[in-house]
């Protein structure tokens, strides 16, 4: 067997038993009852599964089926629409957990393997490469729209039903939860990294995720060369929009500002800011350092709690 096939086969052998096929009841648009399908990944010894928030929607329970033919009911422990992640718990024994990796260590061109249950075909596996990193994908919770940052783009074939399944490295470590098909040959996965691990932890403990809200839209941008050398990082966040009346507006942030640091931490990308915007930041002052018209300016913002009306 060639080396490529050996890698994919090894990953398949390890992960297929640990990726469940989900059947989730839902209300149809005409008021009847229907079912939707998806996938989920076993990530603890005691029966917790990780999937997409959109797979379970507003459901509170469903059925998980495993590759060995066993089926078990599950309960929804918590969902977070703004990261498109959900935690489930199966009511009886499950296979051992997958090994979780760190998506922040991925590189473009790296081999990845997708495991899920597309189109009702349980235990399906496809392989490809990481096509791009740092993509953004909109997620909606009521009227609030938030970008899921640092989404993994892959050319491993994904189809309906793959959502909630595993995206793994050649070593078999799960680094993402497959979430969307963006087009032919373009699949997206929510990364598993320090930020999403914190989200999963809050779902396990509280069933939901409380977030702090600043009220700005930003995009990565280069730092001027001389300043970048002094700061030690070449990228920051350009403020594109400031929501009127938001904490960012009250702090005096303006479109065009280059956000260099928040709370004393460099903001090289959106994830650096988002990892600070959890419950412990609500109502507490955070110092923001921006570059404005060639001068560094410090402002203080007090994040509020993100609600459905914040957006």
SS3 assignment for the chain: CCHHHHHHHHHHHHHHHHEEEEEEEEECCCCCEEEEEEEEEECCCCCEEEECHHHHCCCCEEEEECCCCCEEEEEEEEEECCCCEEEEEECCCCCCCCEECCHHHCCCCCEEEEEECHHHCCCEEEEEEEEEEEEEEEEEECCEEEEEEEEEEECCCCCCCCCCCEEEECCCEEEEEEEEEEECCEEEEEECCHHHHHHHHHHHHHCCCCEEECCEEEEEEECCHHHHHHHCCCEEEEEEEECCCCHHHHHCCCCCCEEEEECCEECCCHHHHHCCCEHHHCCCCEEEEEEECCEEEEEEECCEECCCCCC
Catalytic residue among 163, 218, 246, 310: 163
* Closest by CA position to 248, among listed 269, 207, 205, 277: 277
Does residue 102 have an active-site annotation? Answer: no
Selected catalytic residue, list 21, 36, 39, 84: 84
| Per annotation, catalytic residue among 54, 80, 218, 257 | 54
Is 54 a residue of the active site?
Answer: yes
Active site residues: 54, 84, 163
């Amino acid at each position: 067997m060639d080396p490529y096939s050996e890698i994919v086969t090894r990953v398949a052998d390890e992960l297929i038993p640990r990726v469940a096929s989900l059947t989730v009841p839902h209300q149809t648009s005409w008021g009847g009852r229907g079912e939707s399908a998806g996938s989920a990944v076993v990530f603890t010894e005691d029966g917790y599964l990780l999937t997409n928030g959109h797979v379970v929607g507003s459901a509170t329970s469903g059925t998980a089926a495993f590759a060995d033919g066993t089926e078990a009911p599950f309960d929804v422990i918590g969902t977070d629409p703004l990261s498109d992640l959900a935690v489930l718990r199966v009511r009886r024994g499950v296979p051992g957990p997958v090994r979780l990796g760190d998506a922040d260590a991925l590189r473009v061109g790296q081999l990845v393997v997708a495991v899920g249950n597309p189109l009702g075909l349980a235990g399906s596996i496809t392989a490809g490469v990481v096509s791009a990193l740092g993509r953004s994908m909109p997620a909606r919770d009521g009227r609030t729209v938030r970008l899921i940052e640092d989404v993994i783009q892959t050319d491993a074939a994904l189809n309906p039903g793959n959502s909630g399944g595993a995206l793994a490295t050649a070593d078999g470590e799960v680094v993402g939860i497959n979430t969307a098909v963006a087009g032919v040959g373009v699949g997206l996965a929510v990364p598993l990294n320090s930020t999403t691990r914190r989200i999963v932890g809050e779902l396990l403990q509280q069933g939901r995720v409380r977030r702090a809200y600043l009220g700005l839209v930003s995009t990565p941008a280069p730092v001027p060369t001389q300043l970048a050398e002094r700061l030690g990082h070449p990228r920051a966040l350009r403020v594109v929009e400031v929501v009127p009346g938001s904490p960012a507006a009250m702090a005096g942030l303006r479109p065009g500002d280059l956000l260099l640091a928040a709370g004393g931490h460099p903001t090289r990308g959106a994830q650096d800011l988002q990892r600070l915007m959890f419950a412990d930041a609500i109502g507490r002052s955070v110092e923001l350092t921006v570059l404005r018209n060639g001068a560094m300016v410090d402002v203080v913002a007090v994040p509020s709690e993100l609600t459905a009306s914040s957006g």
